[in-house]
């Protein structure tokens, strides 16, 4: 649909990308959760962790509701005796008694909890999930643990950096300079450590921590604090970057998939291929009682077969009808139907449905020769024939030069050769002229149109609305790039089939003399151009150079007096192209009386050029003789002769198909040739 | 079998119609019941239908020449037809009013269907005769209004009218070429003709326009010397020059009149007015309701197109953002009134997208075989889907491709015709007004009546009434940051700020709902929502910042934080792109195009370039080699072009002066074709820049939306875990 643009797709595509990203995030989170990294409990200090202390042993019930950013209320009482651990400092003890200071104020059980433990001659400075070891010089108070308190904790009440504050003596020199003070432990480690008879009497863990050895441990710990850094708790958010990353990757993949799909869709328009010649002559039939006169069929027909008159469509040029029934497809109310005539297509070759000759097995006929028009169809046919050849290619080996021999390097021949290449079949293309000679013969700058409704191009040959020069250049490039062997200037004169082996022997004449090639299959893509028709002209010596049978370059006819013989599309297009050249004077010479064939556009252009005095037309006239600077015209009705001055004659009256070659190969019977 | 009373078919113009014709007319036409005194149509109304009186009496009144008061011209009784001027085609207007003299029943017969039925039934002759009479009347009227018949007696007028030949011309049709003999004058009955001069290469450039009531005539010339072509379907009268000269000679026509229609100076749009800026003047003149997009503000989101499809049952958008662009010099309406006179005219790049403009003379209406296309009293053109066959004649007839053929919306019964023609219906059956307009987040798209906001023919800098799109309002966003920080003072807890930030972030999602939901109820633009979205997003960012400072770190929190940073950053960048990139992009565009068009256009350019290069002189090729080829090859070139803030024209001039400096005046006369090459390479560079700018404009919002999905998941997980207590 024409109105559908990226604007209208965009919402769905954005939603797709967003959903993919969301899916990615979900997947990442699920992965995190599965690893148990998503909802990890808060880290605990190693002694608590070792003792497997549960949240509820410290936090009284309902603690979750009290979280307001202030320290949660905790109780250490089940394990630690409050009495024993009262502060030795009066103000602290008072605050504790008032309940304004708790154990957890100075000793947070989670990230902030650090201590130094002595094991053998090693001091282990630990925090949750982290520890560092240092060698102890001298006697080690083995088994002692000294808890550390952050200066920042003291800082909630004290001015830590103020020298008048009692805390000042606990501040290590590095912190006194104002650096790192939140991560520096206080050096006053004697908060609870007055050793008494009572504590000496304790046994077990408590006794061990409250003996004389503990005093020594504090001394040493102060030393360790000075030499080791605060232990940062690491790896809390392990894997937290995974969900966003997965989401980003998913989104990127979604975007790439969408882009690739859009590109693939833009490249290949879908429609039904019409690559087979019609068996019977087809013609549109219009029901005048229902026809809306809407012009849909007129627009659809690439050959101007139809026109609308008095608001009803009619078949104006039945002879141009190609049987490609685009008109019937677009008719809104089925007023136009296609009737298959009784007449066989007059010049139809006896072909099977897969383009194989019905008379000679192994010979395939493609392109204009089948009676199906349009370059696009020719390309599709070449492709189709080669696919068929590949499907039915005989197994086993045969002594041949090539697998497939293609005759003719036009659109269908090249298309077949390209496909053969893709199937890895050896293939040679024999061409009497040059690559795409039929297209080269178009007038310079002619735009080769796509037909109004797009037929698919199944082959690899590039075809868009482009000038013929561009198409030829592009095709030549394709031939070179893909390494297709095209032997130009080779004219096939005969081909015969060995009935035992089913192989062909083809004889051709080339610039270096005769050539014989054997092959398993033959693709005939020789078109209908054949050799251009000539006129029975009387040529003066030296005048033959000025008679042309194709228009290669209109610009070369500037400032010349040119006679164009014929009134078909080719002749009219050539005449108009030459008439546009500065100083060129063109006369169209036609045997008939008036414009009775050709595309409407060409007829209209020609008529306009005539009214604009850019070209002349002489009906009912023929050229009988050509001299060096003149030409002799004869009015057919009266036989009157007239000599006009002239620089060039273009004979564009069609060509003679190579019927005799077809007959020699056997795809045509002599009778058909006669009729044709 | 027909349902209409037989008396209708007895009217002279309908006599002899076959059954099919009657059926079609009944399907497309209407029977009106009118009370006494009720008007049927008024002077100057668009004439789309012929009427036949079934019962009662209708009075046709109007002003005749020389009279000041209205006079009843005729009375139509049962069986009479009236309003035959409709046969002139879609640009026909009523030359008199009609109203019911007594309670009456009238059959309305759309002219398009009537014409077809008549011609098919062999009534071409009758139709022509009727049309001829109507035309002659119209011609006389027009000649009089333009003052050409002043002082002529009835006999002289008669001879002039007798000698007149009428010609209907289609858009683009050439009426006279430079070498055509100027043996007749052209009088424009209806429509618009362009006068063009051709240079040596045969390229045409416009020198003027002539419209209704203008005469193309130059006594001194033997040939036209210029090309006169129809800008839109027009009705032209060929008056023999000899006849007009004779009138001059006899002194009937004043010299003043003789000077009026001279060629080629006729109605030359003076430089500095807007008329010569408009490539397709006819389009602007003929439009009643023109959709325009201010390209400086349009963020190319395509939301207008999407919402159009969304507003219609079949889902097909009636609008594509392709089309002509015009640079309109206007007064800066944001300048203070005092400085207005002093203010320089600013140029607003306006895109005329492919969307129905409800023409005064709709080609589609004329082309419809079943009369499915009609106009209402306000001139709004409508397609009656029940009559549409989907044949596509209207779509082909519309010169601006504003009609599309799409599959019908799915309904219970199988429709007789699978396809239907659709075009902009102004969303007239919906209370929210045009969906595209209300959907635009920057108010860049708007429907205007060119007649009311005079776009054309004005002096530069005098136009005030044009839409100006608006970019996001920064004050709202700054305010949001302030509010966020203030709120953080009030709510200091980690949980409180978390809940607030998360809640506010979710509120921003409302915008998606508003944008994508089917519009309902009264029209409210999307822009307030867009601005609110930006403000709320900013507020959420501020709150989230506070929350992160207060809270600890947990894996789910980090996930939420990372996704939120991506969300906020992409949102900020997208908003920034929306403000800055459209201007850059519109400087580089000559027409409206979609991102998917760009690769194809680039390919075409490359091909054109090689064609422009072939056959040029050695000097041109050398210049290409030395200057233009490196210019093309430069990878940072597009960036430089964007950064330089030059327009395409300025860039061409800059490049051209570089070449001039290199040549130092040598090689004059050997540089043919260089300008075309220059234009192409500059355009190529601009295209490359456009590709990147459109990618940024279109891609950033997509990233933003993708992060939204990610963030919502992360937020929910984080909130659940945090509230459960595990942090």
* DSSP 8-state code for residue B555: H
What pLDDT is stored for residue B655 in this prediction? 92
Chain B residues whose CB is inside 8 A of the A266 CB are 596
Which span out of A459-468, B249-258, B389-398 was modeled with the highest average pLDDT?
Answer: B389-398
What pLDDT is stored for residue B704 in this prediction? 93
Under the banding of pLDDT at 50, 70 and 90, the label for residue A178 is low
Give the residue, B547 or B333, on which the prediction is more confident. B547
B416: closest CA of chain A, how far (Å) = 8
* pLDDT above 90 (res A249): yes
* Percent of chain B whose predicted confidence (pLDDT) is above 90: 15
Which span out of A362-371, B41-50, B483-492, B624-633 was modeled with the highest average pLDDT?
Answer: B624-633
Quick one: average pLDDT of B697-723? 90
Under the banding of pLDDT at 50, 70 and 90, the label for residue A457 is very low
B371: closest CA of chain A, how far (Å) = 11
What pLDDT is stored for residue B179 in this prediction? 76
What pLDDT is stored for residue A39 in this prediction? 67
What is the pairing mode between strands A402-407 and A427-431? parallel
Distance of alpha carbon A618 from alpha carbon A631, whole angstroms: 14
* Percent of chain A whose predicted confidence (pLDDT) is above 90: 6
What pLDDT is stored for residue A63 in this prediction? 46
What pLDDT is stored for residue B651 in this prediction? 92
Q: A379-416 pLDDT, tens per residue? A: 888 888 888 888 888 887 778 888 999 998 888 888 88
What pLDDT is stored for residue A452 in this prediction? 34
Is B726's CB within 8 Å of A41's CB? yes
Closest residue in B to A289 (Cα) is: B20
Closest residue in A to B20 (Cα) is: A289
Is A38's CB within 8 Å of B705's CB? no
What is the ipTM metric for this complex?
0.84
A62: closest CA of chain B, how far (Å) = 10
Helix (H) or strand (E) holding B294: strand B290-294
Helix (H) or strand (E) holding B40: strand B39-41
Give the residue, A498 or A23, on which the prediction is more confident. A23
Angstrom CA distances, B532 to A11, B435, B475, stand at 21, 20, 11
Looking up tokens 């397709």, which residue turns up? B280
Q: B422-454 pLDDT, tens per residue? A: 999 988 887 778 888 888 888 888 888 877 765
Q: Which of A255, A262, A612 sits opposite B179 (nearest CB)?
A: A612
What pLDDT is stored for residue A207 in this prediction? 67
What pLDDT is stored for residue B716 in this prediction? 92
Q: Residue B207 in contact with residue B197, Cβ under 8 Å?
A: yes
Angstrom CA distances, B392 to A299, B42, B309, B629, stand at 10, 32, 20, 45
Distance of alpha carbon B294 from alpha carbon A8, whole angstroms: 20
Of the listed ranges A154-163, B3-12, B142-151, the least confidently predicted one is B142-151
Closest residue in A to B550 (Cα) is: A69
A69: closest CA of chain B, how far (Å) = 5
Is A243's CB within 8 Å of B710's CB? yes
Distance of alpha carbon B371 from alpha carbon B108, whole angstroms: 12
Q: Residue A614 in contact with residue A579, Cβ under 8 Å?
A: yes
Q: Residue A518 in contact with residue A504, Cβ under 8 Å?
A: yes
What pLDDT is stored for residue B108 in this prediction? 92
Distance of alpha carbon A251 from alpha carbon A14, whole angstroms: 10
Give the residue, A519 or A219, on which the prediction is more confident. A519
Of the listed ranges A7-16, A268-277, A649-658, B189-198, the least confidently predicted one is A268-277
Chain B residues whose CB is inside 8 A of the A4 CB are 316-317
B19 interfaces chain A, CB cutoff of 8 Å: no
Chain B residues whose CB is inside 8 A of the A41 CB are 726
* pLDDT above 60 (res B479): yes
Q: Strand, helix or coil at A629?
A: coil
Q: B93-147 pLDDT, tens per residue? A: 787 889 998 888 999 998 888 888 888 888 788 888 888 888 888 888 788 777 7
Closest residue in B to A329 (Cα) is: B391
Is A240's CB within 8 Å of B559's CB? yes
Q: In terms of pTM, does the model score above 0.90?
A: no
Which span out of A49-63, B212-226, B332-346 was modeled with the highest average pLDDT?
Answer: B212-226
Is B555's CB within 8 Å of A613's CB? no
CATH of domain A533-654: 3.50.50.60
Give the residue, B694 or A545, on which the prediction is more confident. B694
* DSSP 8-state code for residue A136: P
- Sorted by sequence, the CB contacts under 8 Å of residue A16 that are 6+ apart come out as A254, A258
Every domain of chain B and the residues it spans: 6-128, 146-260, 288-356+366-448, 474-587+702-724, 593-695
Closest residue in B to A9 (Cα) is: B306
A311: closest CA of chain B, how far (Å) = 6
Long-range contacts of A624-631 (CB under 8 A, 24+ apart): A624/A537, A624/A538, A625/A537, A625/A538, A625/A539, A625/A540, A626/A537, A626/A538, A626/A539, A626/A540, A626/A543, A626/A546, A626/A547, A627/A540, A627/A543, A628/A540, A628/A542, A628/A543, A628/A546, A631/A563
What pLDDT is stored for residue A405 in this prediction? 92
Q: A590-605 pLDDT, tens per residue? A: 888 888 777 777 888 8
Cis peptide before B264 (omega within 30 of 0): yes
Quick one: average pLDDT of A546-558? 75
Work out the mean pLDDT of chain A and round it to a whole number: 77
Distance of alpha carbon B1 from alpha carbon B3, whole angstroms: 7
* pLDDT above 60 (res B202): no
B721 interfaces chain A, CB cutoff of 8 Å: yes
Q: Strand, helix or coil at A623?
A: strand
* pLDDT above 60 (res A676): no
* pLDDT above 80 (res A533): no
Tell me the residues of chain A between 12 and 51 that have a Cβ less than 8 Å away from chain B: 13-15, 17-22, 24-26, 28-29, 32, 37-42
Distance of alpha carbon B306 from alpha carbon A6, whole angstroms: 9
Is A237's CB within 8 Å of B401's CB? no
* pLDDT above 70 (res A166): yes
What pLDDT is stored for residue B266 in this prediction? 44
What pLDDT is stored for residue B707 in this prediction? 93
Q: B602-623 pLDDT, tens per residue? A: 877 887 787 677 667 788 888 8
What pLDDT is stored for residue A458 in this prediction? 46
CATH of domain A280-344: 3.30.70.20
Q: B236-266 pLDDT, tens per residue? A: 999 888 887 777 677 666 555 555 555 544 4
Closest residue in A to B723 (Cα) is: A64
Tokens representing B215 are: 């005469």
Under the banding of pLDDT at 50, 70 and 90, the label for residue A24 is very high
Tell me the CATH number of domain B6-128, given options 2.60.120.10, 3.40.50.720, 2.60.110.10, 3.40.50.1100: 2.60.120.10
Is A251's CB within 8 Å of B703's CB? yes
Q: B337-376 pLDDT, tens per residue? A: 555 454 555 677 888 898 999 988 888 888 898 889 988 7
A334 interfaces chain B, CB cutoff of 8 Å: no
Is B607's CB within 8 Å of A64's CB? no
Under the banding of pLDDT at 50, 70 and 90, the label for residue A116 is confident
Distance of alpha carbon B501 from alpha carbon B539, whole angstroms: 8
Distance of alpha carbon B364 from alpha carbon B424, whole angstroms: 13
Q: Report the topology of domain A363-530.
A: FAD/NAD(P)-binding domain (3.50.50)
Tell me the residues of chain B between 403 and 462 that have a Cβ less than 8 Å away from chain A: 404, 406, 416-417, 419
Work out the mean pLDDT of chain B and round it to a whole number: 81
B396: closest CA of chain A, how far (Å) = 9
Q: Strand, helix or coil at B450?
A: coil
What pLDDT is stored for residue B453 in this prediction? 63
What pLDDT is stored for residue A69 in this prediction? 41
Under the banding of pLDDT at 50, 70 and 90, the label for residue B271 is very low
* pLDDT above 50 (res B311): yes
* pLDDT above 80 (res A336): yes
Under the banding of pLDDT at 50, 70 and 90, the label for residue A279 is low
SS3 string, B181-198, reads ECCEEEEEEECEEEEEEE
Q: Residue B208 in contact with residue B265, Cβ under 8 Å?
A: yes
What pLDDT is stored for residue A273 in this prediction? 52
* pLDDT above 90 (res A250): yes
Q: Which of A5, A239, A247 sits opposite B710 (nearest CB)?
A: A247
Q: In a mutagenesis test of the A interface, which of B174, B702, B724 is the best target, namely the one with the most A β-carbons within 10 Å?
A: B702
Of the listed ranges A456-460, A494-498, B71-75, the least confidently predicted one is A456-460
Q: A287-299 pLDDT, tens per residue? A: 888 888 888 888 8
Quick one: average pLDDT of A344-353? 63
A239: closest CA of chain B, how far (Å) = 8
* pLDDT above 60 (res B392): yes
Q: Residue B678 in contact with residue B655, Cβ under 8 Å?
A: yes
What pLDDT is stored for residue A66 in this prediction? 41
Closest residue in B to A295 (Cα) is: B393
- The CB-side HSE value for B233 (13 A sphere, CA atoms) comes to 18
- Give domain B146-260's CATH architecture: Sandwich (2.60)
What pLDDT is stored for residue B674 in this prediction? 85
What pLDDT is stored for residue A527 in this prediction? 77
Tell me the residues of chain B between 349 and 378 that have a Cβ less than 8 Å away from chain A: 369-370
Distance of alpha carbon A42 from alpha carbon B191, whole angstroms: 83
Q: Residue A354 in contact with residue A387, Cβ under 8 Å?
A: no
Helix (H) or strand (E) holding A430: strand A427-431
Give the residue, A349 or B666, on which the prediction is more confident. B666
Which of A594, A633, A639 shows the shortest CA–CA distance to A617? A594
Helix (H) or strand (E) holding A587: strand A585-589
Under the banding of pLDDT at 50, 70 and 90, the label for residue B691 is very high
Q: B515-574 pLDDT, tens per residue? A: 777 766 665 678 888 888 988 999 999 888 888 776 566 778 888 888 999 999 999 999
């Amino acid at each position: 649909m024409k109105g559908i643009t990226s604007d209208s797709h965009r919402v769905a595509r954005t939603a797709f990308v967003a959903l993919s990203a969301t899916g990615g995030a979900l997947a990442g989170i699920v992965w995190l959760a599965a690893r148990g990294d998503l909802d990890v409990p808060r880290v605990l200090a190693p002694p608590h962790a070792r003792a497997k202390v549960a949240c509820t042993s410290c936090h009284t019930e309902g603690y979750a509701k009290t979280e307001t950013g202030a320290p949660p209320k905790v109780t250490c009482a089940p394990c630690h005796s409050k009495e024993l651990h009262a502060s030795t400092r009066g103000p602290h003890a008072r605050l504790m008694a008032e309940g304004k200071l708790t154990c957890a104020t100075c000793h947070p059980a989670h990230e902030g909890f650090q201590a130094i433990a002595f094991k053998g001659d090693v001091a282990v400075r630990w925090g949750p999930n982290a520890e560092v070891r240092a060698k102890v010089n001298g006697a080690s108070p083995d088994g002692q643990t000294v808890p550390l308190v952050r200066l920042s904790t003291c800082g909630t009440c004290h001015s830590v950096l103020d020298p008048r504050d009692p805390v000042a003596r606990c501040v290590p020199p590095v912190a006194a300079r104002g650096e790192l003070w939140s991560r520096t432990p206080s050096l006053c480690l004697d908060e609870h450590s007055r050793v008494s008879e009572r504590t000496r009497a304790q046994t077990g863990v408590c006794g061990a921590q409250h003996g004389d050895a503990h005093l020594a441990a504090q001394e040493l710990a102060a030393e360790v604090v000075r030499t080791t850094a605060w232990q940062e708790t690491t790896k809390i958010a392990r894997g937290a970057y995974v969900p966003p990353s997965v989401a980003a990757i998913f989104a990127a993949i979604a975007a790439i998939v969408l882009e690739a799909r859009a590109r693939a869709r833009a490249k290949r328009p879908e429609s039904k291929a019409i690559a087979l010649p019609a068996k019977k002559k087809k013609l549109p039939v219009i029901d005048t009682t229902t026809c809306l006169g809407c012009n849909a069929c007129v627009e659809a027909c690439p050959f101007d077969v139809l026109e609308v008159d008095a608001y009803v469509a009619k078949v104006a040029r039945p002879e141009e009808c190609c049987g490609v029934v685009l008109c019937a497809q677009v008719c809104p109310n089925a007023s136009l139907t296609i009737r298959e005539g009784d007449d066989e297509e007059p010049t139809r070759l006896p072909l099977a449905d897969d383009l194989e000759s019905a008379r000679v097995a192994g010979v395939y006929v493609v392109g204009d020769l089948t009676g199906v028009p349009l370059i696009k169809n020719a390309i599709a046919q070449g492709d189709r024939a080669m696919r068929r050849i590949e499907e039915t290619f005989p197994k086993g080996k045969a002594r041949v030069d090539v697998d497939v021999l293609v005759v003719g390097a036009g659109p269908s021949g090249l298309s077949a050769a390209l496909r053969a290449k893709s199937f890895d079949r050896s293939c040679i293309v024999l061409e009497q002229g040059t690559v795409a000679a039929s297209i080269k013969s178009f007038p310079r700058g002619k735009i080769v149109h796509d037909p109004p409704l797009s037929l698919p191009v199944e082959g690899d040959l590039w075809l868009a609305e482009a000038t013929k020069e561009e198409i030829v250049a592009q095709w030549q490039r394709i031939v070179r790039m893909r390494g297709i062997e095209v032997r130009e200037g080779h004219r096939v004169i005969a081909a015969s089939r060995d009935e035992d082996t089913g192989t062909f022997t083809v004889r051709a004449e080339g610039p270096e003399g005769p050539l014989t090639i054997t092959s398993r299959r033959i693709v005939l893509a020789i078109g209908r151009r054949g050799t251009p028709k000539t006129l029975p002209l009387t040529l003066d010596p030296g005048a033959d150079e000025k008679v042309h049978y194709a228009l290669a370059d209109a610009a070369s006819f500037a400032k010349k007096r040119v006679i164009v013989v014929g009134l078909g599309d080719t002749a009219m297009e050539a005449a108009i192209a030459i008439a546009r050249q500065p100083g060129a004077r063109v006369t169209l010479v036609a045997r008939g009386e008036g414009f009775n064939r050709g595309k409407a556009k060409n007829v209209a252009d020609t008529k306009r050029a005539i009214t604009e005095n850019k070209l002349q037309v002489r009906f009912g006239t023929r050229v009988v003789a050509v001299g060096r600077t003149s030409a002799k015209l004869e009015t057919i009705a009266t036989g009157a002769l007239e000599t006009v001055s002239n620089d060039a004659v273009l004979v564009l009256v069609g060509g003679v198909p190579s019927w005799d070659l077809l007959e020699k190969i056997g795809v045509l019977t002599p009778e058909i040739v006669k009729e044709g | 079998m027909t349902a209409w009373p037989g008396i209708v078919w007895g009217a002279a113009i309908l006599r002899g119609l076959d059954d099919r014709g009657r059926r079609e007319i009944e399907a497309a036409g209407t029977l009106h019941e009118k009370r006494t005194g009720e008007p049927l149509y008024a002077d100057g109304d668009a004439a789309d239908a012929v009427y036949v009186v079934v019962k009662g009496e209708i009075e046709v009144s109007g002003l005749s020449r020389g009279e000041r008061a209205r006079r009843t011209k005729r009375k139509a009784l049962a069986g009479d037809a009236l309003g035959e001027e409709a046969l002139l085609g879609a640009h026909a207007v009523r030359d008199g009013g009609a109203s019911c003299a007594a309670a009456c029943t009238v059959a309305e017969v759309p002219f398009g269907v009537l014409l077809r039925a008549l011609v098919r039934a062999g009534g071409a002759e009758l139709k022509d005769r009727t049309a001829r009479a109507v035309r002659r009347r119209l011609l006389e009227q027009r000649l009089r209004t333009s003052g050409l018949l002043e002082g002529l007696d009835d006999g002289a007028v008669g001879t002039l009218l007798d000698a007149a030949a009428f010609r209907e011309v289609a858009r683009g049709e050439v009426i006279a070429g430079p070498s055509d003999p100027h043996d007749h004058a052209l009088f424009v009955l209806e429509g618009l003709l362009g006068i063009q001069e051709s240079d040596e290469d045969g390229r045409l450039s416009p020198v003027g326009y002539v419209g209704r009531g203008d005469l193309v005539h130059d006594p001194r010339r033997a040939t036209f010397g210029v090309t006169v072509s129809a800008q839109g379907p027009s009705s032209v009268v060929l008056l023999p020059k000899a006849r007009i000269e004779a009138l001059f000679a006899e002194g009937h026509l004043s010299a003043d009149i003789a000077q009026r229609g001279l060629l080629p100076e006729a109605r030359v749009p003076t430089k500095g007015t807007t008329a010569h800026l408009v490539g397709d003047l006819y389009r602007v003149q003929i439009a009643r309701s023109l959709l325009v997009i201010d390209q400086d503000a349009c963020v190319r989101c395509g939301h207008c197109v999407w919402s159009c499809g969304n507003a219609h049952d079949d889902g097909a958008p009636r609008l594509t953002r392709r089309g002509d662009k015009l640079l309109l010099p206007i007064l800066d309406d944001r300048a203070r009134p005092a400085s207005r006179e002093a203010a320089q005219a600013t140029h607003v790049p306006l895109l005329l997208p492919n969307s129905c403009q409800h023409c005064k003379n709709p080609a589609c209406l004329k082309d419809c075989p079943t009369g499915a296309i009609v106009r209402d009293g306000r001139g709004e053109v409508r397609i009656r889907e029940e009559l549409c066959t989907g044949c596509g004649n209207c779509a082909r007839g519309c010169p601006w491709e504003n009609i599309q053929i799409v599959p019908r919306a799915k309904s219970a019964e199988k429709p007789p015709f699978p396809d239907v023609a659709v075009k902009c219906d102004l969303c007239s059956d919906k209370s929210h007004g045009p969906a595209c307009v209300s959907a635009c987040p920057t108010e860049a798209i708007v429907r205007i009546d060119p007649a009311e906001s005079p776009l054309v023919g004005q002096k530069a800098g005098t136009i005030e009434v044009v839409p100006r799109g608006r970019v996001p309002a920064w004050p709202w966003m700054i305010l949001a940051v302030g509010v966020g920080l203030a709120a953080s003072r009030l709510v200091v807890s980690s949980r409180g700020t978390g809940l607030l930030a998360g809640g506010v972030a979710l509120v921003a999602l409302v915008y998606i709902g508003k944008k994508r939901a089917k519009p309902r109820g009264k029209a409210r633009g999307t822009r307030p929502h867009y601005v609110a979205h930006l403000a709320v997003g900013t507020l959420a960012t501020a709150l989230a910042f506070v929350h992160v400072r207060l809270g600890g770190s947990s894996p789910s929190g980090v996930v939420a934080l990372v996704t939120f940073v991506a969300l906020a950053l992409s949102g900020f960048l997208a908003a920034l792109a929306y403000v800055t990139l459209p201007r850059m992009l519109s400087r580089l565009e000559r027409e409206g195009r979609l991102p998917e068009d760009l690769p194809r256009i680039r390919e075409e350019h490359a091909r054109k370039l090689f064609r422009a290069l072939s056959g040029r002189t050695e000097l041109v090729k050398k210049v290409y080699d030395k200057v233009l080829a490196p210019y093309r090859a430069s990878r940072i070139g597009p960036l430089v072009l964007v950064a330089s803030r030059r327009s395409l024209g300025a860039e061409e001039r800059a490049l051209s002066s570089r070449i001039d400096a290199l040549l130092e005046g040598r090689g004059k006369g050997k540089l043919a074709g260089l300008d075309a090459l220059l234009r192409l390479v500059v355009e190529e560079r601009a295209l490359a820049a456009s590709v990147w700018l459109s990618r940024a404009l279109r891609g950033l919002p997509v990233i933003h939306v993708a992060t939204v999905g990610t963030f919502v998941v992360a937020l929910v997980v984080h909130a659940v875990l945090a509230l459960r207590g595990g942090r």
